[in-house]
């Protein structure tokens, strides 16, 4: 069985090599193989050149590098990656090290075991599991170092998704969205920006797939460190949930 790890990247020249090293080092169970698909979404810094140099020094990794001439958004990059993917299982990996590739094994396991066709990695479940989320998070599950508004935005999107779909998700905006190829049959991602996430969530739920969640680690970074999502993306996500309900 082949796992396609799709990595959309935009202006991450400082972190992309560290991330790729972690993905390359990831060992999968049961003889599963992996392919790494990196989609540079029109980076304006040295990201593309850095990735090309990294690939030249790691030919054994067989990294497939694609590039958008201009920045089009995460949804567009994911769509390009999915179109190039050959695996039976596909998963998204952000390039900013907020998510640990070692968790990929746990995320894909329910699909490998035939228990689910769609699995999301939930940050909320991990924080509640570890009981380390601070005063506010004792109830909510907020990571102690994440931005309050970003967290509340994620909660709002998740609750809105559940309300309109009847699902029981804890972390809809998570990076780790994993799909068996069967679950994506007939689905076309229309959104070019971060709204692709609630779009695909609502579409797989509407088809009738149950989304399984497993706990994953989360290491949030600050805006000064390059975090890109903002409140406007949150509003677009809420609208996308309604649009694709």
Q: Counting beta carbons within 10 angstroms of the beta carbon of residue 202, is it exposed (0 to 12), middle (13 to 18) or buried (19 or more)?
A: buried
Report whether 15 contacts 97 (CB < 8 A): yes
Helix axis angle for 231-243 and 148-165, nearest 10°, is: 0
pLDDT at 81 over 80: yes
pLDDT at 145 over 60: no
Report whether 38 contacts 4 (CB < 8 A): no
Residue 136: predicted pLDDT? 52
Strands (DSSP E) contained in the chain are 2-9, 33-41, 63-68, 89-92, 118-122, 177-180, 211-215
Q: Which helix (H) or strand (E) holds 39?
A: strand 33-41
Q: What is the mean pLDDT of residues 143-153?
A: 62
Residue 114: predicted pLDDT? 94
Residue 88: predicted pLDDT? 97
pLDDT at 141 over 70: no
Q: What is the mean pLDDT of residues 124-136?
A: 67
Q: Which structure tokens are listed for 124?
A: 């909320």
Cα angle 100, 228, 124; round to 5: 45
In degrees and rounded to multiples of 5, residue 146 shows phi and psi of: -85, 155
Residue 154: predicted pLDDT? 79
Q: Output the pTM of the full model.
A: 0.89
Q: How many Cα atoms within 13 Å fall on the side-chain side of residue 107?
A: 30
Report whether 7 contacts 104 (CB < 8 A): no
pLDDT at 221 over 70: no
Report whether 222 contacts 206 (CB < 8 A): no
DSSP alpha helices (H): ranges in 143-195? 148-165
Q: Counting beta carbons within 10 angstroms of the beta carbon of residue 235, is it exposed (0 to 12), middle (13 to 18) or buried (19 or more)?
A: middle
Q: Which helix (H) or strand (E) holds 7?
A: strand 2-9
Residue 87: predicted pLDDT? 97
Residue 219: predicted pLDDT? 81
**What is the C-alpha to C-alpha distance for residues 209 and 189, in angstroms, rounded to an integer?**
17
Q: What is the mean pLDDT of residues 157-161?
A: 92
**Binning pLDDT at 50, 70 and 90, where does residue 138 land?**
very low
**Identity of the highest mean pLDDT range in 139-148, 166-175, 221-230:** 166-175
Residue 148: predicted pLDDT? 58
pLDDT digits (tens, 9 = 90+) for 200-216: 999 999 999 999 999 99
CB atoms within 10 A of CB 69: 7
In sign, the C-alpha dihedral spanning 181, 187, 193, 197 is: negative
pLDDT at 120 over 50: yes
Show the domains of the chain with their CATH numbers: 2-243 (3.90.550.10)
Residue 73: predicted pLDDT? 95
pLDDT at 53 over 80: yes
pLDDT at 79 over 90: yes
């Amino acid at each position: 069985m082949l796992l396609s790890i799709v990595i959309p990247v935009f202006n991450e020249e400082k972190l992309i090599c560290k991330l790729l090293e972690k993905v390359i080092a990831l060992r999968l169970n049961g003889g599963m193989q992996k392919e790494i698909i990196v989609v540079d979404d029109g980076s304006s810094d040295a990201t593309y050149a850095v990735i090309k140099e990294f690939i030249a020094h790691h030919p054994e990794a067989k990294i497939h590098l694609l590039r958008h001439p201009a920045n089009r958004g995460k949804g567009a990059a994911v769509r390009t990656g999915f179109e190039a993917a050959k695996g039976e299982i596909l998963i998204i990996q952000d390039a900013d090290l907020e998510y640990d590739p070692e968790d990929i094994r746990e995320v894909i396991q329910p699909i490998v075991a035939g228990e689910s066709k769609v699995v999301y990695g939930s940050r909320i479940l991990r924080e509640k599991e570890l009981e380390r989320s601070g005063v506010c998070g004792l109830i909510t599950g907020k990571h102690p170092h994440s931005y309050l508004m970003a967290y509340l935005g994620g909660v709002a999107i998740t609750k809105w998704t559940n309300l309109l779909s009847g699902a029981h998700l804890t972390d809809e905006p998570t990076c780790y969205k994993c799909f068996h190829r069967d679950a994506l049959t007939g689905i076309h991602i229309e959104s070019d920006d971060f709204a692709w996430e609630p779009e695909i969530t609502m579409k797989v739920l509407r088809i009738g797939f149950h989304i399984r969640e497993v706990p994953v680690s989360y290491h949030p970074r600050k805006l000064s460190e390059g975090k890109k999502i903002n409140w406007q993306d949150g509003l677009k996500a809420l609208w996308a949930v309604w649009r694709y309900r």
